[in-house]
Structure 1
Amino acid sequence: MAQATSPGSSSGTNPRGKTLFFFEKPSAMRQVQRFFRSPSTVCVAAEGHLLEVAEPGEIRPDWKPWRFDALPIAMERLPVAPGHGRSGQSHAPKLAAIRQALSGVERVIIATDPGREGSMIAWEVLEHLGWRGRVDRLRLGALDEISIRRAFGLLAREDDSGERDYAAYLEALCRQYEDWHLGLNGTRAVSLRLRPPAFREPWRFGGVQTPTLAILADLEERIRTFVPRDFYKIALPVTTESGARLTLWHAPKDKIFEIADAETIRDAAAGWAGPLAVVQKDVRRTPPKLFSKDTLARACAKRFGWDPQVTARHAQALYDKGYLSYPRTESVHLPESQAKDAAAVLAAIAVADKDLAAHNPATPQIRRGPKGHYVKDPGEHHAIVPLRKVPGPGDVAPEALRLWLLVAKNFLAAHMADGIDARTTVTAEVATPLGQKRFVITGSVVKVPGWRALYGTEADEDEVVPGKAKADDEPTTGRLPPVRDGEAGTGGDPTIETARTEPPRRITRGELPVVMGRLIDQIEDPALKRALENPANPTEPKGLGTAATRDAVLPKLMKSHYVTLLKGKDPAITVTEVGLAFVSAVRRVFPAYGDPVGRAVFESELAEIGRATTKAEAVRRAEAFRQRTRERVEALIGAVSGADRLEVDAEAPPRGGRAPTAAMVAFARSLAARKGIPLPPEATREVGACRVFLNTHAGPKIGGEKSGTEAGSPAGDGATRPPTPAMLRFAASLAREKRMEGLPPEIETDFAACRAFLDAHAGGDGSRGGKAPAREAPAKKAPAKKAPAKKARGPRAAASPGRAPRRRRAEA
């Protein structure tokens, strides 16, 4: 905490008493203090949330054990107490210091980071300390000198900034309220009643993370059940009357899956002759959009392999030092009022980096409207852009500098000229028994590079929609030979080329926040797409979570073993058997919590609290939301209590039980490799998870053989028994001796199939060359023993996600 100054006459400070400025971080406080000159101003910096919600067991001792009959646990208000820093030190002294600083203060100006979380950091302390004086909001969209002065000018013109900011605080408080109630009640209820005993970890539940997992689970199912199909394209070589040669293609968007249809079109095209239609036009290529928090995270994941939380940390550091605008934004536009700043910002960028300076336009291009970069109202926070203040040598960490250069390059491109391509399309219409068919080729050459001179080959990289299969490229080539419109052409012998459909792409770590914010891109149903539209801001449709919280969802899903990451710079996300089972159970009992679209619509209704124009209206909306949350929790518990219990395997180990056998793990790995699916990590550590994987993917047993203990399986858990290494070596030698192309796939994974192969090919006595084969005799059937009843232990409350969450920039 520090004595500071007032920003002069623009601050509107009451001369009869002190004004307290409430900052979020000391770094921001120091940036703004440069403009202070009055001794009647006091500054404090919270350094994050100073209060945290009490644990359930601290509120009521009977809420500590995990008991279904104690649910639902609901409160009208969440009790808070001084929190603790990362070192474990209590925040109580900070709160006491702020209480003392408020003595003699007539006005508080909240100067925390803009946004709901920043508002909450200040307001929760003021309410906890019983502050009842005047409160105003200083909106610092950036921490450079120009932005700070503008923020103070806006503060002087606004009389209701405090009331509107209180509405933003109540929205953040309601998000925390729902997070606490759903996380606590949902996790306990689903874990106690729906989770199979094979899964040891609690089934963590959350209002945002559960529908996000549902998106990934639906994609996982589409990938696993995808069956590739061959489709066909027809190439027609053509010679023009002037002697030019080119190849036209029939490759319709509605793919040709029947070879007979492809052959019919090919035969009709043989010997074709006729006029060629030629269309020439210039095609403009506009620069990419400016960065939002999510699109910046995606770009950094693609280029640098960064986790979105790493990107957020570097962007925040640049904001705190005044080099970047506020980074937790969902907008990709700037306000029209900032168009006049473009030249000065570009000049500053040119000084900072000579490579960018080489492309600095003499006159910046200002593109207005939703398809451009400048709009009348970009929303609560505008796009992420560089400022007049630029980093010099050694001012920031190397990684932060890489991020700044990426944003600066994006801003520069946005103000450069459009690229222009000269595009020529040559078309032939061929009559076939299936109707007129269009054969076409497009040639494209760069006429004016424009902003693409800055990006080079990166400019031609297509942005593939996450979770979708890559679109088929149109038949294109470079420069085409000269062809006149209407010029006669003669076809040669057409040929059929075969291609294969591809499964949807997995969503990557860097793409997940974009998917959550752009849920509309994942939906095909027109009615659902309309439900996700945002008439108030068409460029920002309804989504899951907020820009400030989306980065935290994936770590939660991984901690719960619902998903894992594959390898790669920006690794793809795959859903485990645990995650699939969890989503299936939730949708069976309470489908609304597994519906991403329904949740996105609900989120937009929650945002109405923050849009209230008066404190009274915000309070009324917040109270209605709390009541609705309690009703939803009661409905969830009622649905879970009335649901059929999942079957309990009498042989299942208790929670915290043993690991799978080596044979089970070996079979699971071979099965995963053969089917081209990832093996969940927990399947190599927990016998229950391994059994679920095997039961899901092994399919019916070959030859009607029994499995598990009845077949002598060393696993003894109902899994198909793999052959021994000796059996596989002998089978391979027989295959070589009999000149087979290879062993059937099931031989390598199924004991019964391998034994049948040896019996069929090794001779009547099972010998070869007078030596007994290295075979394993069938295991004798042991008398069945009844497993003793085992009392399952509930998850420890101390490690439970049902505990009240600490204050953080994340929600469940």
Structure 2
Amino acid sequence: MKLYIAEKPSLGRAIAEALPKPHKKHQGYIETGNGDVVTWCIGHILEQAEPDNYNEKYKKWQLDHLPIIPERWQLKPKTKTKSQLTVIRKLLKQCHQIVHAGDPDREGQLLVDEVINFLNVSTHKRENMQRLLISDLNLPAVKRSLTQIQPNKRFVPLSVSALARSRADWLYGINLTRAYTIQGGKVGYKGVLSVGRVQTPVLGLVVNRDNEITQFSAKPFYDVLAHIDAPQQQTFCAKWQPSEACKPYLDEEGRVLSKKLAENVVARITQQPAIIDDIKKQQKKQNAPLPYNLSSLQIDAAKQYGMNAKLVLDVCQSLYEKHKLITYPRSDCQYLPNAQFSMAKSVVGMLASAPIAYSDAAKKADTSLKSKAWNDAKVGAHHAIIPTQKSPANTTLSPVEKNVYQLIVRQYLAQFFPAFIYQHTQVSLTIAGGAFKASANVTEQLGWKQLFANNKGDKQKPEQTQTLPVLNKTDTLYCTHGELLEKQTQPPKHFTDATLLAAMTGINRFVKDATLKSILKDTDGLGTEATRAGIIELLFKRGFLQRQGKLIMATPAGKGLIEALPDVCTTPDMTAKWEATLNNIAEQQANYTSFMQPLEKTLIALIEKASSHVPASLKGIKATVKPAYKQRKRRKKTVAKS
């Protein structure tokens, strides 16, 4: 028999539905009409062993035990899902062919691979194992996927990358959390000081932003506007462009700090002729934004509806698994395979007749247009999140499900609208020897922008400056008066769900090392699409972050921890470099050893540093989470009393 192993029961049922009937449902698996069997994991049914599984002495948290680095890594079955592991073990012995049907990402690849390895499946079966990639749980899509099965060995690099990440997180988290919790106890901090390879740099971003805001001192700066009279009684404004000679009076962003200098310019240009040096007219075009990956969807949902990252992920899982209205949601890709383009007419036709806000837009969509989103070269194990061919007509969606679904629909439909086109005009002037510029944008074709008319999160609007009259270089213009605008520098803003996610995905903006900054791409980030929401929520759960309305700020414990840790742990540089290496492992440009060996050396040095430093910054701060070993002692006492 052929055995399909899915990641979750919902995926298992979808696969079985596409296989021959009749079906026989058993505990933990489904037998199909041709004798093949579909079973499933229930997420991760194996987990990394705890330190005390390697040695009993590690039950007690002591500095002289650190660092704990297993010689032979161990996995152990999760208690709640042991029975399902037993089912899979039995079926693996009976089958002649295995089909790996984990989710189409690194974690999904590792999740089933590690079960196969843990259960000591024969070399012959492992070498002949096949891979089934499913990103849409609707019957026609699953049937298509069943015709496109590939050898599982092609996806081994994904599994290795996920394994390296899992072990790195264990090593880093277990060792540094123990070290700093023990040291924190020496200054009276009676709680867990959780340190993570990804979570701590994220906390560091928030703490650093909070500190920048606290330490910020507003400074005045000055702009000068020239009010210009043009032919036919038309007027417009032009802004002064300080010259090279003014540099000593400017800040690093080119803002004028000297009021006297600005006042002098105002006096000099008033009632003076304005000479046109140049008129540049340029037609500019903006193509539709790409379809969503998970992070870009979470960012837009946060901007548009104030939804946090975890809620968006949960809603997406429901739209995917329960309602089958969207494709696989934990995607880091914003592109689509060319083969999907042939289904566009059907999907758009369904949306045109569906009871949704964008049905009229779907009727106007031109499915002959093929945007840059369709690009096989940029599609990996999974593609962008898009609507499936299933109509929401007979589905009851909650308000948040409806909001997220309609965001996905709109982003998909935008691919079938023409570009947004506008005319950009820039006029360069000389007034009393000073350089001035005026610009304006005029929309020529709204295109895909018509779908985003009331979008709070649309950053793609060209700056709407003013309307410029029709000008010729020979025109005589006149500056009626200059205007001094006094402004104040503004502090950076506290993070929100949207901006913190954006910071995690585009981490190179926060990397300090210039060489590393140049290596990292915009797509290299902290964590993965599937883990970022969980990392943010974990920092709240552990008492390191707090909310004030939509704003995210660090707690005293969060600030104290970041102050206690060395910079290498709190800045994204090291972790961003590791994430880049993990991506390279997945793309076969690096290997497991090249990642793990430097990490272990770094860990040893960090433990030595922690052991020699008492975190005074945590003195007097109340803990919110107690150490695990103290919690176990308290539970034992409670049991004894009862």
Query: 1:572: which partner in 2?
Result: 551
Measure, in 2, the Cα distance between the counterparts of 1:460 and 1:487. Answer: 40
CA drift of 1:368 comes to: 5.1
SS, match of residue 226 in structure 2: strand
Query: 2:30: which partner in 1?
Result: none
CA drift of 1:798 comes to: 5.3
Q: TM-score by structure 1 length? A: 0.69
SS, match of residue 228 in structure 2: strand
Give me the identity figure in percent. 24
Tell me which amino acid in the other structure corresponds to 2:592.
A
CA drift of 1:563 comes to: 2.2
Query: 2:330: which partner in 1?
Result: 328
CA drift of 1:312 comes to: 0.8
Query: 1:258: which partner in 2?
Result: 258
The structure-2 alpha-carbon separation of the partners of 1:496 and 1:50, relative to structure 1 and needing over 3 Å to count, comes to: same
Measure, in 1, the Cα distance between the counterparts of 2:438 and 2:600. Answer: 61
CA drift of 1:530 comes to: 0.9
The structure-2 alpha-carbon separation of the partners of 1:375 and 1:42, relative to structure 1 and needing over 3 Å to count, comes to: closer
Measure, in 2, the Cα distance between the counterparts of 1:648 and 1:400. Answer: 43
Measure, in 1, the Cα distance between the counterparts of 2:92 and 2:111. Answer: 16
Query: 1:215: which partner in 2?
Result: 205
Query: 2:435: which partner in 1?
Result: 437
Instruction: Decide whether the 8 Å contact of 1:566 with 1:572 is kept in 2.
Output: yes
Query: 1:462: which partner in 2?
Result: 459
The structure-2 alpha-carbon separation of the partners of 1:512 and 1:379, relative to structure 1 and needing over 3 Å to count, comes to: farther
Measure, in 2, the Cα distance between the counterparts of 1:306 and 1:234. Answer: 41
Select the structure that is richer in helix. Answer: 2
Matches within 5 A, 1:4-19: 18-19=1-2
Measure, in 1, the Cα distance between the counterparts of 2:574 and 2:617. Answer: 32
Measure, in 2, the Cα distance between the counterparts of 1:559 and 1:233. Answer: 46
Instruction: Decide whether the 8 Å contact of 1:368 with 1:375 is kept in 2.
Output: no
Matches within 5 A, 1:126-141: 126-132=116-122, 133=125, 134-141=128-135
Measure, in 1, the Cα distance between the counterparts of 2:354 and 2:218. Answer: 51
Measure, in 2, the Cα distance between the counterparts of 1:648 and 1:411. Answer: 49
Matches within 5 A, 1:175-574: 175-193=165-183, 197-250=187-240, 254-276=254-276, 277-320=278-321, 321-353=323-355, 355-360=357-362, 361=364, 363-364=366-367, 366=369, 369=372, 374=375, 376-432=377-433, 436-438=434-436, 440-458=437-455, 461-462=458-459, 476-477=465-466, 479-523=467-511, 527-533=515-521, 541-567=523-549, 571-574=550-553
Measure, in 1, the Cα distance between the counterparts of 2:366 and 2:595. Answer: 51
CA drift of 1:129 comes to: 2.0
Q: Which is worse superposed, 202-211 or 162-171?
A: 162-171
Q: Among 164, 178, 181, which residue is 1:174 paired with?
A: 164
Deviations 1:563-615 (A, max 9, x none): 22221xxx22222333233223222xxx43233122211122233443449xx
The structure-2 alpha-carbon separation of the partners of 1:426 and 1:554, relative to structure 1 and needing over 3 Å to count, comes to: same
Query: 2:561: which partner in 1?
Result: 582
Q: Considering only CA atoms, is the larger Rg found in Structure 1 or Structure 2?
A: 1
CA drift of 1:56 comes to: 2.9
Q: Among 608, 621, 633, which residue is 1:638 paired with?
A: 608
Tell me which amino acid in the other structure corresponds to 1:81.
K
CA drift of 1:22 comes to: 0.5
1:53 to 2:48 alignment = yes
Measure, in 2, the Cα distance between the counterparts of 1:475 and 1:397. Answer: 37
Matches within 5 A, 1:643-792: 643-646=612-615, 686=622
Measure, in 1, the Cα distance between the counterparts of 2:569 and 2:545. Answer: 18
SS, match of residue 547 in structure 1: coil
Number of residues of Structure 1 aligned to a counterpart in Structure 2: 602
CA drift of 1:110 comes to: 1.1
CA drift of 1:107 comes to: 0.9
Deviations 1:350-386 (A, max 9, x none): 12246423223463364555xx564532333221111
Matches within 5 A, 1:108-127: 108-127=98-117
Tell me which amino acid in the other structure corresponds to 1:339.
F
The structure-2 alpha-carbon separation of the partners of 1:64 and 1:374, relative to structure 1 and needing over 3 Å to count, comes to: same
1:68 to 2:63 alignment = yes
SS, match of residue 458 in structure 1: coil
Query: 2:247: which partner in 1?
Result: none
SS, match of residue 358 in structure 1: helix
Tell me which amino acid in the other structure corresponds to 1:576.
T
Instruction: Decide whether the 8 Å contact of 2:54 with 2:70 is kept in 1.
Output: no
CA drift of 1:53 comes to: 3.1
Q: Which is worse superposed, 447-456 or 496-505?
A: 447-456
Task: Report which structure shows greater RCO (CA 8 Å, sep ≥6).
Answer: 2
CA drift of 1:291 comes to: 0.8
The structure-2 alpha-carbon separation of the partners of 1:354 and 1:23, relative to structure 1 and needing over 3 Å to count, comes to: closer
CA drift of 1:556 comes to: 2.2
Deviations 1:745-768 (A, max 9, x none): xxxxxxxxxxxxxxxxxxxxxxxx
Gapped regions of structure 1 (runs ≥ 5): 1-17, 85-89, 465-472, 534-539, 654-681, 690-793, 801-812
Q: TM-score by structure 2 length? A: 0.86
CA drift of 1:412 comes to: 0.6
Tell me which amino acid in the other structure corresponds to 1:98.
I
Instruction: Decide whether the 8 Å contact of 2:526 with 2:575 is kept in 1.
Output: yes
Deviations 1:157-210 (A, max 9, x none): x3xx32233432333222222222211110111222367625332211111112
The structure-2 alpha-carbon separation of the partners of 1:460 and 1:428, relative to structure 1 and needing over 3 Å to count, comes to: farther
SS, match of residue 511 in structure 1: helix
Measure, in 1, the Cα distance between the counterparts of 2:47 and 2:615. Answer: 36
Tell me which amino acid in the other structure corresponds to 1:330.
D
The structure-2 alpha-carbon separation of the partners of 1:162 and 1:398, relative to structure 1 and needing over 3 Å to count, comes to: same
Instruction: Decide whether the 8 Å contact of 1:532 with 1:597 is kept in 2.
Output: no
SS, match of residue 190 in structure 2: coil
Deviations 1:650-676 (A, max 9, x none): xx77xxxxxxxxxxxxxxxxxxxxxxx
The structure-2 alpha-carbon separation of the partners of 1:638 and 1:460, relative to structure 1 and needing over 3 Å to count, comes to: closer
Query: 2:136: which partner in 1?
Result: 142
CA drift of 1:21 comes to: 0.4
